[in-house]
Amino acid sequence: MSRIPQQLTMGVIIGNRGFFPSYLVAEAREQAIALFGRLGINIVMLDPSQTELGGVETRQDAKVCAELFRAHRDRIHGVVVLLPNFGDEKAVAETLRLSGLNVPVLVQAEEDNLDKMGLATRRDSFCGKISLCNNLRQYGIPFTLTSQHVCALTGEVFEQDLKRFEQVCRVVSSMRGVRVGAIGARPAGFNTVRYSEKLLERLGIAVETLDLSEVFTRIKTLRDDDIRVDEKRRILIDNADASRIPADKLVTMAKLFVVISEWVVANDIDTTAIQCWTSLQENLGINVCSIMSVMSGQLMPSACEVDVMGALSMYALASSNMNPASIADWNNNFGDDRDKCVLFHCGNFAASSLESPHMGTADIIGTTVGKENTCGAVHGRLKSGPLTYFRLSTDDLTGEIKAYVGQGQSVDDPLDTVGCRAVIQVPHLENLLNWICRNGFEHHVAMNHSASAEILHEAFTRYLGVSTYLHR
């Protein structure tokens, strides 16, 4: 089961400053409870019995709020700061420092009304937000801004900002402590997917390895009528039309699926990268593509050719929007249209993203190992719609993890080919491809149906410390 958090919990800080109307704090608290509840977001927030109206204004308030956050630190995914009036910037910053939380922070400031600028009703949050952000920067606390400098807590602008922030928090939470399973050795001809485990450790990412010889040994211990094998066989049949696949091949695939799944559970693996050719074809007579397709559909994505950074890219993308991600090659030009290209892989895409998915053979690999030994590849055309692409990479020459991200469209232009394929349209694609080549990125890219580029850029650049190019 995927460990990407479904429901998030936010710590909420309501700033206050005494010579501004304090009733605004109580009003903001009620509005926040209603909004977060409607969006299905849990909150940890001061009670009016703990501080004046539940706001944070003094050093003592900061200590009380920080203690509350510490008590719930294992379930807080982000902090939302609300400024119904100017607020006390130092108290809010000290709350975050004293809490010890290392989570994304969203800063909202309420807008003033021109007919309420008297002493009894004015807010001055417009000014207070600038002061607070100045202090957060002094304290070294990264933060996210709303799309407008000030916005109503009850308005559509802030609701959309909060939904985007929820996605940022989900990405950051998912990527911290993620565990990747590398199954098999990198194919000899794929230097492009080399990566640095040591650089990943700096980000708190662990890589667990499993040799294919161990996989083959475990498969031999499974009987054809094992209930676990039958369960996995049914899952594979439900994933894509398998009517063309011989029964014995489906059983072998199911046994491989059992072994991989049990190893994933035993080692707390979140995402996998698998040696998909040619050892599996030569030893088992099957492809692993359908198994990878199922796992990606379950938000536990699986990348080809032991592409660990590709698997992490898929996991980040899936966590941003809870949509299955797939991995593909930047594979072909699309005639003379320089803003379109073909994405392709033998057959690993998440089935829910495809038009009429069916299971077949991997004909390209079949030219070397025999077509009959490649049963299990998924065939289908990527559905049309919005598309986000994303790629992480480790760069040993600079000692850094880097990434790029952008958006485009999956389009339904005619394409006569096999496997998992897509025609995509990306603005200024030639510039992007030039940038990819100049900066030494791999030929694989993760993608899914979404519009999440700015979410991923914010999460990785601001909170995870990964230099990320946002293509526009």
How large is the C-alpha radius of gyration of the chain? 25
Burial level of 322, CB count in 10 A (0-12/13-18/19+)? middle
Find the helix packing angle between 59-71 and 89-99, rounded to 10°. 30
pLDDT digits (tens, 9 = 90+) for 393-435: 999 999 999 999 999 999 999 999 999 999 999 999 999 999 9
- Locate 413 and state its tokens: 């232009």
* Tens digits of residue pLDDT in 128-184: 999 999 999 999 999 999 999 999 999 999 999 999 999 999 999 999 999 999 999
> In 3D, which of 9, 73, 5, 70 has the Cα closest to residue 41?
9
Type of residue found at 259:
V
- pTM for this prediction: 0.96
Q: What are phi and psi of 178, to 5 degrees?
A: -65, 145
* Helix residue ranges, H only, 401-452: 429-438
Phi and psi at 255, nearest 5°, equal: -65, -45
Q: Is the peptide bond before 278 cis (omega within 30 degrees of 0)?
A: yes
Among 103, 90, 101, 100, which Cα is nearest to 133's?
90
Backbone angles phi, psi at 464, to 5 degrees: -105, -5
**At which residue do the structure tokens 């999440």 appear?**
452
Distance CA 138, CA 160 (A): 28
CA dist., res. 46 & res. 333, Å (int): 57
At 53, the amino acid letter reads L
Provide the pLDDT for residue 114. Answer: 60
Q: What is the pLDDT of residue 117?
A: 61
Kindly state the tokens that stand for 102: 């290392």
pLDDT tens by residue, the chain, 472 residues? 899 999 999 999 999 987 777 789 999 999 999 999 999 999 999 999 999 999 999 999 999 999 999 999 999 999 999 999 989 999 999 999 999 999 999 999 999 876 666 665 677 899 999 999 999 999 999 999 999 999 999 999 999 999 999 999 999 999 999 999 999 999 888 899 999 999 999 999 999 999 999 999 999 999 999 999 999 999 999 999 999 999 999 999 999 999 999 999 999 999 999 999 999 999 999 999 999 999 999 999 999 999 999 999 999 999 999 999 999 999 999 999 999 999 999 999 999 999 999 999 998 999 999 999 999 999 999 999 999 999 999 999 999 999 999 999 999 999 999 999 999 999 999 999 999 999 999 999 999 999 999 999 999 999 999 999 999 9
Cross-strand pairs, 198: none
Q: What is the pLDDT of residues 236-248, one digit of tens each?
A: 999 999 999 999 9
Handedness of CA 252, 257, 260, 263 (dihedral sign): negative
- What b-and-e string marks burial along 155-164, b requiring 16 or more CB atoms within 10 Å of the CB? eeebbebbeb
